[in-house]
Structure 1
Amino acid sequence: MHSALRRASEFARNLGLSRPILLAPMAGACPVSLSAAVAAGGGMGACGALLMTPDQIGGWARDMRETSNGSFQMNIWIPDPVPNRDAQHEARLRDHLADWGPSVPADAAEAPLPDFDEQCRAMLAASPAAMSSIMGLYPPDVVAEMKARGIKWFATVTTVAEARAAATAGADVIIAQGMEAGGHRGAFDADQAASALVGLFALLPAVADAVDVPVVATGGIVDARGIAAALVLGASAVQIGTGFLRAPEAQTNPAWAAALARTAPEDTIATTAFSGRLGRSVRNAYAMSDGPAPAPYPIQRALTGPMRSRAAKDGNIDAMQAWAGQSAARAPDEPADRIITRLWDETLALFG
């Protein structure tokens, strides 16, 4: 057996998986139905808990366990510093956004975010196989509690320096996120996210050489060629997000799913227009519009909320938040369990 396959098989076995393929924990796009289907195919399910209350986190875990005996990870963003507010600038943004959807209430950005500490406690209580971090590192007390409960810490990184910091802080697994990935960029420092855009196949071997813990590759992987390449470059597994969004169990908005199928790599854009945090989406009319500079996260996300909700309801891809990795067009339209089994069978065939 090829050494890369031995490494991947050992990683999967240690997590109770039959195939080293993980679902990316996409906030708002990881229904239990998708995670259960991924687990049925031998992979690892996921829950993106960013916008969830503690009760919702506990409810998701209960529903998953009632549906599947497969393992899963739960993910949360490490909070950014409190953003600076500019009332006049936000007023200009509201005027601009009214051209793309409903008028934006003056108090749209005043709603509090879910409490991070309470979310962490809820995830610990849910006892997933792993808790993953993005946008930074878990505080030491959370890390200590994870280790006491036997929960693995998967730390998402976008640079070698971030990988080293995560390993030093006690991460059990490093998730190396290439710039090809759809959705939000996992950079620890939001101000540096756009200036440190490293492609996966440059980042992955550098991270694998820099740390002594297993590395999972994510970003732009949708087929067996990408999986095989990632394993040869040092990954112990792969994590796939966009590649599952056209599966029926994902329940993706039909307009979004249809757009993925026709989105070439150059038809995606890394933009702060939707949330104030850099993320890769379909290159649509709103993202390319000439308006005021986006407000910081989470202010921009709150201000764009009415537009995004209306666009999703109307199936209007021109104003929709349609996250998409650079390999979106090759995302298959088939059940998630079949995607997992087919991808792994085809990967094994490539290794002969």
Structure 2
Amino acid sequence: MSDRLTRLLGIEHGIVQGPFGGGLSSVPLAAAVSAAGGLGSFGANHLTPDGITALVGELRAAVPDGLPFNVNLWVPHPGEQDLRPTAADVERLRPFYERLELKTPDGYAPPPLFDDQIDALLAAAPPVISFVMGVPPARVVEETRRRGIVTLGTATTVDEALALEAGGIDVVIASGSDAGGHRGAFLRPVTESLVGTFSLVPQVADAVGVPVLAAGGIADRRGVLAARALGADGVQIGTGFLATTESGTSTAHKAALAGPDARTTVLTRIFSGRHARAILNPLIREMAAAEDQVPPYPVQNTLMRPLRAAAASRNDAAHVNLWAGQAAALSRPIPAADYVESLL
């Protein structure tokens, strides 16, 4: 892997574990990846400021020998933190609440504010902070530089990569449409930003002067070699690490990643109000007609959270968000350290 990337991040191998939001990340997974010479990550977009402070403390205690780790936040889109659900938004989900024997919500608790989250994260000062969904505010980038924190930003198009570089981000993650989980498009709609990894990575590598991580559809050593051939300095892998022993994914999710259903993934707004790639399951099929009706993030995400949690706790693959990229069928249920070794 490129020396400029490994030196910048303080890692041995140019392998970054993708950060998973919504509770799918785990401290043991991040610690195992960092201990194996990569960069372990934790998605903190769902955590309160106090939760973020505690998380960084846990990561520091778990990651051995002062090795680096990464904490991820979502940059909010304009106006989204002021949104509230309508009665129709709640009513649309009533049959699913009843099916899972849950009480229909009678109020709405908005998620933590980004400004509060990032202030707590900056104060905790992890070695690396990554962002998705946009360019962080200038005052945030200035503070990361003052504190010696390395920043990563996710781009789904060349224009987004250029915007991240202009905004002072240290490393650009070129995330192809092959990738699992949420699409991070922020300059154009997702439907206009679906560039495959093989098309995106070389264009981004040519366009920016900062190190580039390739992401999307990379799950084994062949994908790592291909990313390097395309001009990437390293790789970020999500789905492959979701399948590992230490990840926070449910038993049902891991079973789906290991089965034939992993060969079919779709982009859906059903689970969060934002497009995300997941293994096709009965809930996605049942709600397909409502794809354009569900409210945007974070409203739909908040309304769906109890359903997702209940389904995961029951190992109910029919009603849970089975995030997965298009190379999911290549993933294997092995310890994270063994997986890193296999990528090398």
Q: How many residue pairs are counted as aligned between the two chains?
A: 336
Are 1:319 and 2:315 an aligned pair? Answer: no
Task: For residue 98 of structure 1, give the secondary structure of its aligned residue in structure 2.
Answer: helix
Residues 25-45 of structure 1: CA deviation (Å, up to 9, x unaligned): 111222110011001110001
In 2 relative to 1, CA 128–278 (structure 1 residues): closer, same or farther, beyond 3 Å?
Answer: same
Matching residue within 68, 73, 77 for 1:76: 73
Task: For residue 177 of structure 2, give the secondary structure of its aligned residue in structure 1.
Answer: coil
**Among the aligned pairs, what percent are the same residue?**
41
Matched with 1:278 is 275
Task: For residue 246 of structure 2, give the secondary structure of its aligned residue in structure 1.
Answer: helix
Task: For residue 325 of structure 1, give the secondary structure of its aligned residue in structure 2.
Answer: coil
Residues 207-245 of structure 1: CA deviation (Å, up to 9, x unaligned): 111111110011111101100110111111101111011
Matched with 1:33 is 28
Task: For residue 11 of structure 1, give the secondary structure of its aligned residue in structure 2.
Answer: helix
- What does 1:1-352 correspond to in 2, within 5 Å? 5=1, 8-27=2-21, 28-68=23-63, 69-83=66-80, 87-98=86-97, 100-103=99-102, 105-108=104-107, 110-189=108-187, 192-263=189-260, 266-290=263-287, 291-292=289-290, 293-344=293-344
Task: For residue 287 of structure 1, give the secondary structure of its aligned residue in structure 2.
Answer: helix
CA distance in structure 1 between the aligned counterparts of 2:59 and 2:299, rounded to whole angstroms: 32
Task: For residue 43 of structure 1, give the secondary structure of its aligned residue in structure 2.
Answer: coil
Asked if structure 1 preserves the Cα contact closer than 8 Å seen for 2:220 and 2:342, the reply is no
Task: For residue 109 of structure 2, give the secondary structure of its aligned residue in structure 1.
Answer: coil
| One-letter amino acid matched to 2:255 | A
Per the TM alignment, residue 308 of structure 1 is displaced from its structure 2 partner at its CA by 1.2
Where does structure 1 differ by over 4 angstroms across 4 or more consecutive aligned residues?
A: 83-86, 263-266
In 2 relative to 1, CA 180–147 (structure 1 residues): closer, same or farther, beyond 3 Å?
Answer: same
Task: For residue 194 of structure 1, give the secondary structure of its aligned residue in structure 2.
Answer: helix
| One-letter amino acid matched to 1:62 | G
**86-95 or 44-53: which moved more?**
86-95
**144-153 or 75-84: which moved more?**
75-84
Cα RMSD (Å): 1.8
Residues 102-121 of structure 1: CA deviation (Å, up to 9, x unaligned): 4553435x102112112111
Matched with 1:348 is none
Matched with 1:347 is none
CA distance in structure 1 between the aligned counterparts of 2:227 and 2:249, rounded to whole angstroms: 27
| One-letter amino acid matched to 1:105 | T
CA distance in structure 2 between the aligned counterparts of 1:239 and 1:163, rounded to whole angstroms: 15
In 2 relative to 1, CA 149–229 (structure 1 residues): closer, same or farther, beyond 3 Å?
Answer: same
In 2 relative to 1, CA 217–186 (structure 1 residues): closer, same or farther, beyond 3 Å?
Answer: same
**305-314 or 322-331: which moved more?**
305-314
**262-271 or 274-283: which moved more?**
262-271
| One-letter amino acid matched to 1:198 | V
Task: For residue 132 of structure 1, give the secondary structure of its aligned residue in structure 2.
Answer: strand
The two structures have a TM-score, normalised by structure 2, of: 0.92
Asked if structure 2 preserves the Cα contact closer than 8 Å seen for 1:216 and 1:236, the reply is yes
